[in-house]
Amino acid sequence: MKALKVPRFLHVPRFLHIESRTVRYTLYVLFGIIVADGLLTQFLVTGGYGLEINPLLIPWVGQESFLAIKISAAFLATLLLWIKYNVKPRLVYTITVVALGFYTAIVYWNLFVFLLVLNQPV
Protein backbone atom coordinates (compact mmCIF):
# COMPACT_ATOMS: atom_id res chain seq x y z
CA MET A 1 0.00 0.00 0.00
CA LYS A 2 1.34 3.40 -0.97
CA ALA A 3 1.71 6.03 1.78
CA LEU A 4 -0.05 9.34 1.36
CA LYS A 5 2.26 12.25 0.73
CA VAL A 6 1.66 15.26 2.97
CA PRO A 7 1.79 18.62 1.16
CA ARG A 8 4.84 20.71 2.01
CA PHE A 9 2.82 23.60 3.43
CA LEU A 10 1.39 21.29 6.13
CA HIS A 11 4.81 20.42 7.59
CA VAL A 12 5.74 22.04 10.90
CA PRO A 13 8.85 24.22 10.55
CA ARG A 14 11.88 22.82 12.38
CA PHE A 15 12.14 25.75 14.81
CA LEU A 16 8.54 25.15 15.96
CA HIS A 17 8.83 21.40 16.44
CA ILE A 18 8.98 20.21 20.06
CA GLU A 19 9.62 16.50 20.49
CA SER A 20 8.86 16.40 24.21
CA ARG A 21 5.18 15.76 24.84
CA THR A 22 5.64 16.91 28.45
CA VAL A 23 6.88 20.34 27.38
CA ARG A 24 4.10 20.74 24.82
CA TYR A 25 1.42 19.87 27.36
CA THR A 26 3.01 22.11 29.97
CA LEU A 27 2.85 25.03 27.54
CA TYR A 28 -0.79 24.22 26.71
CA VAL A 29 -1.69 24.14 30.40
CA LEU A 30 0.18 27.40 31.03
CA PHE A 31 -1.88 29.11 28.34
CA GLY A 32 -5.09 27.69 29.76
CA ILE A 33 -4.36 28.67 33.33
CA ILE A 34 -3.46 32.24 32.33
CA VAL A 35 -6.82 32.50 30.56
CA ALA A 36 -8.58 30.99 33.61
CA ASP A 37 -6.88 33.61 35.78
CA GLY A 38 -8.22 36.33 33.48
CA LEU A 39 -11.76 34.95 33.61
CA LEU A 40 -11.76 34.65 37.40
CA THR A 41 -10.20 38.07 37.85
CA GLN A 42 -12.74 39.67 35.53
CA PHE A 43 -15.61 38.04 37.44
CA LEU A 44 -14.31 38.88 40.91
CA VAL A 45 -13.32 42.47 40.17
CA THR A 46 -16.46 43.43 38.25
CA GLY A 47 -18.56 41.86 41.02
CA GLY A 48 -16.75 43.90 43.64
CA TYR A 49 -15.29 40.86 45.37
CA GLY A 50 -11.61 41.37 44.57
CA LEU A 51 -8.90 43.64 43.24
CA GLU A 52 -6.42 43.44 40.39
CA ILE A 53 -2.91 43.73 41.81
CA ASN A 54 -1.04 43.98 38.49
CA PRO A 55 -0.59 47.73 37.90
CA LEU A 56 -0.42 47.22 34.12
CA LEU A 57 -3.85 45.59 34.01
CA ILE A 58 -5.72 47.74 36.55
CA PRO A 59 -7.03 50.23 33.96
CA TRP A 60 -8.45 47.43 31.78
CA VAL A 61 -10.14 45.23 34.37
CA GLY A 62 -13.88 45.54 34.00
CA GLN A 63 -13.70 46.63 30.38
CA GLU A 64 -14.50 44.45 27.41
CA SER A 65 -10.91 44.56 26.20
CA PHE A 66 -9.48 42.99 29.38
CA LEU A 67 -10.01 39.37 28.36
CA ALA A 68 -8.76 40.04 24.84
CA ILE A 69 -5.59 41.59 26.28
CA LYS A 70 -5.14 38.72 28.74
CA ILE A 71 -5.64 36.04 26.06
CA SER A 72 -3.34 37.84 23.62
CA ALA A 73 -0.62 38.20 26.25
CA ALA A 74 -0.97 34.53 27.20
CA PHE A 75 -0.72 33.50 23.56
CA LEU A 76 2.34 35.67 22.91
CA ALA A 77 4.12 34.47 26.07
CA THR A 78 3.40 30.83 25.24
CA LEU A 79 4.46 31.33 21.63
CA LEU A 80 7.73 32.95 22.71
CA LEU A 81 8.48 30.04 25.04
CA TRP A 82 7.52 27.57 22.31
CA ILE A 83 9.86 29.18 19.76
CA LYS A 84 12.76 29.56 22.19
CA TYR A 85 12.50 25.95 23.42
CA ASN A 86 14.79 24.60 20.69
CA VAL A 87 17.46 27.22 21.53
CA LYS A 88 17.49 26.81 25.33
CA PRO A 89 15.25 23.89 26.28
CA ARG A 90 16.23 23.63 29.94
CA LEU A 91 15.76 27.35 30.59
CA VAL A 92 12.42 27.47 28.80
CA TYR A 93 11.15 24.41 30.67
CA THR A 94 12.22 25.93 34.00
CA ILE A 95 10.52 29.24 33.21
CA THR A 96 7.37 27.41 32.11
CA VAL A 97 7.17 25.32 35.27
CA VAL A 98 7.79 28.34 37.54
CA ALA A 99 5.14 30.39 35.68
CA LEU A 100 2.75 27.45 35.87
CA GLY A 101 3.27 27.22 39.64
CA PHE A 102 2.78 30.97 40.02
CA TYR A 103 -0.44 31.05 38.01
CA THR A 104 -1.73 27.91 39.72
CA ALA A 105 -1.33 29.63 43.10
CA ILE A 106 -3.13 32.72 41.78
CA VAL A 107 -6.01 30.69 40.36
CA TYR A 108 -6.37 28.72 43.61
CA TRP A 109 -6.42 32.00 45.54
CA ASN A 110 -9.09 33.40 43.21
CA LEU A 111 -11.15 30.22 43.59
CA PHE A 112 -10.80 30.47 47.38
CA VAL A 113 -12.13 34.06 47.28
CA PHE A 114 -14.94 32.99 44.95
CA LEU A 115 -15.98 30.17 47.29
CA LEU A 116 -15.91 32.55 50.27
CA VAL A 117 -18.20 34.91 48.38
CA LEU A 118 -20.62 32.09 47.62
CA ASN A 119 -20.83 31.08 51.27
CA GLN A 120 -21.59 34.56 52.62
CA PRO A 121 -25.14 35.12 53.79
CA VAL A 122 -27.14 37.53 51.62
Give dist(CA 117, CA 122) in Å, integer: 10
Structure pTM?
0.83
- Could you give the percent of the chain with pLDDT greater than 70? 96
What is the average pLDDT value for the chain, to the nearest integer? Answer: 89
Domain ranges of the chain: 21-117
The pLDDT value recorded for residue 122 is 65
Q: pLDDT tens digits for 79-89?
A: 999 999 989 99
What average pLDDT does this structure show over 59-83? 92
The pLDDT value recorded for residue 18 is 85
The pLDDT value recorded for residue 12 is 67
- Alpha helices by DSSP H, listed for the chain, are 21-46, 65-84, 89-118
Angle, vertex CA 28, rays to CA 89 and CA 101, nearest 5:
75
- Could you give the percent of the chain with pLDDT greater than 90? 53
Give dist(CA 118, CA 120) in Å, integer: 6
Confidence of residue 69 (pLDDT cuts 50, 70, 90): very high
User: Coil, strand, or helix at residue 88?
Assistant: coil
